[in-house]
Amino acid sequence: MTVEGFASFREVIHRAVCQLDGAPQDVLEAVQNHVRVHQELVIGAWDELRHRGGAVTHVTKSEYDRSFQLVSDIVLAKGADIPVIWRDPDPVAKALNELIAQEVKAHHQQPRR
C-alpha cells in the first residue's frame, strides 16, 4: 500500500480512458476486467483509495454497485485473515469511480490534435 501502488493503479485508469476515448462506462468495464485479473493493483493502492473515497459523495448507484461488488470480491479473495481496515470496501469503491470520472474529464478537456 504505497504511493507507487496508487500511481500504478491510476496509470491503468489513464490508459483505459485514452484507449476508449473517454467513454465512462466502457472505461469502468475495462478497469474492472483488468483489476479482476490484477487484484494487486487495488491492494497496493488501498490506503490512498480509502482515504480519497471517504470524501466522495457523487457516484451514481449503478457505478457504485459495480465497483462495490468488484472491491468486495477482491476482499473476499484475500480470505478471512485480511486486516480489519480492508473490511469496508465502500470508500475504495467510491474512489475507483471518482478516479475514472477525473481521468475522463481530463481526457475530454485536452485539445484534440
For position 100, what pLDDT does the model report? 92
**For residue 2, what is its C-alpha cell?**
504505497
| Closest alpha carbon to 77 in 37, 19, 109, 25 | 37
What percentage of the chain exceeds 70 in pLDDT?
A: 89
Contacts 24+ apart (CB under 8 A), 19-25: 21/107, 22/103, 22/104, 22/107, 22/108, 24/100, 24/101, 24/104
User: pTM, whole model, 2 decimals?
Assistant: 0.85
**pLDDT for res 93:** 92
Q: Comparing C-alpha atoms, which of 46, 61, 59, 70 is closest to residue 94?
A: 59
Q: What pLDDT does residue 74 have? A: 86
* Whole-number Å distance between alpha carbons of 7 and 75: 21
CB contact at 8 A, 95 and 9: no
Show the DSSP H helices in 1-113 as ranges. Answer: 3-19, 24-37, 40-44, 46-53, 61-78, 90-109
When pLDDT is cut at 50, 70 and 90, the band that residue 86 belongs to is low
> What's the Cα-to-Cα distance from 87 to each of 32, 46, 77, 107, 110, rounded to whole Å?
19, 11, 12, 33, 38
Q: For the segment 19-44, what is each residue's pLDDT rounded down to a tens digit?
A: 999 998 899 999 999 999 998 898 88
